[in-house]
Structure 1
Amino acid sequence: MAGRLVVLGSGGHGRALIELLRDLPAWEIVGLVDAVPRAPVMLGVPVLGDEAVLPALRAAGVDQACLAIGDAAARLAAAARLAALGFGFPMLIHPSAIRARSAEVGEGTVVLPRAVLGAAARIGRFCIVNTGAILEHDVEVGEGAHCGPGCVLPGGVRVGARALIGAGAACRPYVTIGAGAVVGVGAAVTEEVPPGAVVGGVPARPLPG
């Protein structure tokens, strides 16, 4: 019997997670929750209302949730609110993703189609590993970080909590990207990125705030 799960968020990332969950027969989506829904139904899944409906869902036996929120700070704040209500957060890995047996994935993290998690990679809680991202051996990704579509993190790269790696970005091995940093789309990171920095370009350089 499939487990019942509510998705928090009905934007673009919500659509991606609906399709992810549809490829995971262990889960049944009971509905979406969003403070500002775009429509009453998204991809055939009903929007149930805002977070005020969550206690009733919990009382009805729905005890798992998936966070479809792109912004890291908002995602982690939502996780804390739902955890206080008693919700759990399964890790969700698309069947087409490649995960080494020694790779670790934290609660609430989602791994989208064709992503690769290499040997001894460690992905923290509530992360997003987006479509086609490659995280090679010994990569470490901190809580709430987002590895964008098609990014390439070779061996030993460290990504701090809440950092964002843009689509198609790449790093040299063993580089560190600090907490809350942003790496722009298509950037080539050859040096350490300080916490909170915004970098872009080839090679990556600090961008104006």
Structure 2
Amino acid sequence: MGRIVTERSASGPAPLIVIGAGGHAKVVIEAIRAQGLFEPVGCTDPNAGGARVLGVEIIGGDDQLDVMRADGVRHIFVALGDGRLRMRIGAALLQKGFVLPSVIHPAATISPSARIGRGVVVMAGAVINAEASIGDFAIVNTLASIDHDCVLGAGVHVAPRTALAGCVQLGEGVFLGVGAVVKPNIKIGDHAVVGAGGVVVRDLPPGIEAVGVPAKPRSKKPSSER
């Protein structure tokens, strides 16, 4: 594989590597391009060398990152759906000195008082309201609504069309399925999962899976990663 050209004009987008080459990476790549601050110049996937994702070359596994850094690429985005893996890889990249910017689609609405961590993606149509806080490596997916004073921990994923009322707290690695709804002032513990369409009206402890209307614990969350 030849060297990827990363030179740019002073006013042009900075080169960026995307970790991952699956469906989530496709949406992230389009959000990156829409934002206009960065240009994806390669994706990593050890199982798909030589292919492309939306025109972006898959450069190999993560062993290529040091090569890319030598070529002048400092920015990386971790586009993996697995929350634990996303956080682990993101933390390791920060330790290596890479910059992990957040990606905000221009069709999202973000309050100027909201706080967004590192490596976060906010997809098209999402709304994040006043003084909400979004932790590192979180995913706020398409058309999700995060109301005032919500706190989302690191690695949280709120799926498309989820809706959080005010002052909701989601612990590290929480996953809310498509169309889930959470009433005001609810706390959901670390790595809990709420199934698609679930309506959370009571606090949920860490590590459980809750489903239904209202959402009730179904079983212990499996120990394997999502």
Tell me the TM-score normalized by structure 2: 0.90
Alpha carbons of structure 1 residues 180 and 38: separation in structure 2 relative to 1, 3 Å: farther
Match of residue 149, structure 2, among 138, 162, 166:
138
Pairing 1:111–2:139 present: no
Match of residue 199, structure 1, among 207, 210, 215:
210
Tell me the TM-score normalized by structure 1: 0.97
8 A contact 1:118–1:135 mirrored in 2: yes
8 A contact 2:49–2:58 mirrored in 1: no
In structure 1, the partner of 2:224 is none
* Coordinate RMSD, CA, aligned: 1.1
In structure 2, the partner of 1:41 is 52
In structure 2, the partner of 1:63 is 74
Q: Which moved more, 1:45-54 or 1:82-91?
A: 82-91
In structure 1, the partner of 2:31 is 20
In structure 1, the partner of 2:110 is 99
Which amino acid in the other structure matches residue 149 of structure 2?
D
Q: How much identity, in percent, do the aligned residues show? A: 40
Specify the SS of the correspondent of 2:57: strand
Specify the SS of the correspondent of 2:219: coil
Specify the SS of the correspondent of 1:4: strand
| Cα displacement string for residues 43-94 of structure 1 (whole angstroms, at most 9, x for unaligned residues) | 1111000011100101111001011111111001111222233211101110
- CA–CA distance in 1 between the matches of 2:119 and 2:110? 16
In structure 2, the partner of 1:164 is 175
The alpha carbon displacement at 1:22 in A equals 1.5
Alpha carbons of structure 1 residues 170 and 28: separation in structure 2 relative to 1, 3 Å: same
Specify the SS of the correspondent of 1:162: coil
| Cα displacement string for residues 70-119 of structure 1 (whole angstroms, at most 9, x for unaligned residues) | 11110011112222332111011100101111011001101000000000
8 A contact 2:141–2:160 mirrored in 1: yes
Specify the SS of the correspondent of 1:173: coil
**Aligned length in residues:** 209
Alpha carbons of structure 1 residues 39 and 56: separation in structure 2 relative to 1, 3 Å: closer
In structure 2, the partner of 1:6 is 17
In structure 1, the partner of 2:62 is 51
Moved >4 Å (runs of 4+): none
- CA–CA distance in 1 between the matches of 2:195 and 2:66? 39
Pairing 1:32–2:15 present: no
The alpha carbon displacement at 1:39 in A equals 6.5
Pairing 1:90–2:101 present: yes
Q: Which moved more, 1:174-183 or 1:29-38?
A: 29-38
Pairing 1:184–2:184 present: no
- CA–CA distance in 1 between the matches of 2:178 and 2:62? 31
The alpha carbon displacement at 1:151 in A equals 0.2
